[in-house]
Amino acid sequence: MRTDSTTELIDAWLATWIHIRGIHAGQLDGWPIVHVGSRTRETELVCVDPGIEAFTELMGHVAGDPRAMLTVVAEDVGTYLTAHLLPGVRIDRDDETLMSTELVDEGVPPLADDLTFRWDIDDHAMTYSLESADTVAAHGSVGVLNGWATFDSVETTPAFQRRGLGRHVMATLTRQAMGRGATRGVLAASAQGRDLYTALGWEPRLEMLSFMGV
């Protein structure tokens, strides 16, 4: 069921995600279709708990197209996870969670002496990177739109994990976002990233399930 709070969250996530990537979206069968244009996909059709009948129809838009993605967002995606798939459709990701939080500046953990930082800022996003010599140790981006911030591509290189760099990156990006007027945050978390965000006070709100054409 799509409640008012769910609608606000989904709309905020899509708007900030589109903003941070500098991409655009349209409508297809009444649902947003985002023109991602990335290495992994050209388009992503996003629907919120559409029901099996509508879901089956939506699969037809991605069937056979390896550059097209269909993402279902719901409180419980189990019904869609076990649904019969059309020929030419496969499950791509079944471990993502839409999460949100009220942003709080809790201070930035100190940076180790062997690391330096760099900012890359454009009209859409602020990207913060930590480097050790010529190696990127961790990085992440944040974009702010209408009081909402979304965090994107927060990653730590395997050789630098278990050093609290993810927490440092998130705290730094949060402070920057709040300085630009953001009060709430929303993001799509992988299973690996969810542990970090939960530890930082983010709340899981909705499950996400993505399908690709083949």
- For the chain, which domains are there? 4-97+207-213 (3.40.1350), 104-182 (3.40.630.30)
- Residue 29, amino acid: D
Q: Which helix (H) or strand (E) holds 115?
A: none
pLDDT at 155: 94
pLDDT at 134: 87
pLDDT at 192: 86
pLDDT at 7: 85
Q: Which two tokens stand for residue 95?
A: 């471990």
In tens, the pLDDT along 145-179 reads 999 999 998 999 999 999 999 999 999 999 999 99
Where the chain has pLDDT below 70, the residues are 1-4
Q: Rounded CA gap, 111 and 40, in Å? A: 33
Q: Rounded CA gap, 175 and 67, in Å? A: 36
Q: Which residues fall within 8 angstroms of residue 121, CB to CB, at 6 or more apart?
A: 127
What is the CA 137 to chain-centroid distance, rounded?
Answer: 21
pTM of the model: 0.90
DSSP string, 30-77: TEEEEE---SS-SEEEEEES--HHHHHHHHTTTTT-TTEEEEEEES--
